[in-house]
Amino acid sequence: MTVADPTLARARPGRGIGARERAAWGFVAPALLAIGLFFCIPVMAALALSLTDFDIYALANLENLRFVGLQNYERLLTNPLFWGAMRNTLWFAVLGVPLSIAASLAAAVILNARVVKWRPIWRVMFFAPYVTTLVATAVVWRYLLHTRYGVINWGLTSLGLPAVDWLGQPSTSIPAILMFVVWKIFGYNMLIFLAVLQTVPDDLYEAARIDGAGPWRQFRHVTLPAIAPTMLLVSIISVASFFQLFAEPYVMTQGGPAQSTVTVLYFMYEEGFKWWNLGSASAVAFILFLCILAITLVQLAVARRLGAYQ
């Protein structure tokens, strides 16, 4: 709160506020310094880099660097592979964000239920995928998804369904990677939801029960409104992380089959480290930054309209 006791303000006019401001700056200075050093400067450098044609020649000798204005952006926007990567990333986000939030929330609600025994053990089991090394789990999932020897196809065929070539077909590669990603990350958001669910007072549920609300109506009218701000936070984090999906397709499919799992970040990686066009790769990073910013602003606007926060 900035408005202090009026009597106090009158007693020490001007000078006091200055000292307090100085103290405040002193407290935030380390954080600001870190943000400036590790965020603002690199971002500015990347922006500058995106206006140059930094490539393999410039790597050998900086004299070969040229300022090219917006040419990198112009070329990207006319590159069909870039648009393909955008489309794939959108698919990942549109399918992945609701799925992962639903999985996290479901797990949190189950863990929060009174009837569940051995809660810490369940919590560890659900959270374990998140803290396990990505590459190790990806290798296991590649076995699970294997066309001929995979447990998933074994399940499908024993139900009488046809086997699916999960990672070999452009149409199933995104769902296959999504399964893996959702399994991998739902534990983290589950913990956030669980923490909030435990702050919802029991008397609200009691009152709802007395009014005759069943489990679904309790969830809809008590739980959801109570966790709405958290939901917003989780959805923003999830959108940002799904837009930055890279390691999973890199480890599982290398962007294939037929470029169906090339995400924007994977595209940027290839541009930057396969072809060593760092200028163009920085331009991709900037476009991605603007996309995430725009979507986050839209989410905030929607949330404000729905009254999730003030």
Partner 1 sequence: MTPAAHRRGALGLLAGGAAAACTPRRRGETVLRFWAMGNEGGTVGQLTPEFERRNPGVRVQVQALPWTAAHEKLLTAYAGSSLPDVSQIGNTWVSELTAIGALSPTPPQAAGLLDDQFPAVLKTNQIGGRAMATPWYVDTRLIFYRTDLLRRAGFEAPPGTWAEWKRAMHAVKRAAGQGNFAILLPLNEFEQLLTFGLQIDEPLLKDEGTRGNFSSPGFVTALAFYRSLFDEGLAPVASATQISNVWTEFARGYFSFYFSGPWSVGDFRTRLPASFQPNWATAGVPGPNGLGASAPGGSSLAVFSSSPHQEAAWALVRYLSEPQVQARFNQIVGDLPARQSAWPIAGVERDPMLAPFRGQLERARTVPKVPEWERIVTEMQIVAERMVRGQFTPETAAAEIDRRADRLLEKRRWMLDQGRAL
Q: Which chain residues interact with partner 1 by CB under 8 A?
A: 53, 55-57, 59-61, 63-64, 66, 147, 165, 168-170, 254, 256-258, 273-276
Q: Which is nearer to partner 1, 129 or 168 (CB)?
A: 168
Separation between Cα atoms, residue 265 and residue 284, nearest integer Å: 8
- The rounded radius of gyration (Å) of the Cα atoms in the chain is 25
CB of 44 to partner 1, least distance (A): 21
Smaller CB separation from partner 1, 9 or 59: 59
Residue 260 Cβ vs partner 1, minimum distance, rounded to whole Å:
9
Nearest approach, Cβ of residue 56 and partner 1 (Å): 6
Nearest to 178 by CA among 77, 117, 237, 96: 96
Residue closer to partner 1 by CB (options 187, 255) is 255
3-state secondary structure 197-228: HCCCCHHHHHHHHHCCCCHHHHHHHHHHHHHH
Give the residue with the Cβ less far from partner 1, 169 or 244: 169
Residue 61 or 158 with smaller CB distance to partner 1: 61
Backbone angles phi, psi at 219, to 5 degrees: -65, -45
**Cα(224)–Cα(274) distance, integer angstroms:** 46
Shortest separation between residue 52's beta carbon and partner 1, angstroms: 11
CB 65 to partner 1: min, Å: 10
User: What contacts 53, CB < 8 A, 6 or more positions away?
Assistant: 65, 66, 68, 71, 72, 277, 279, 280
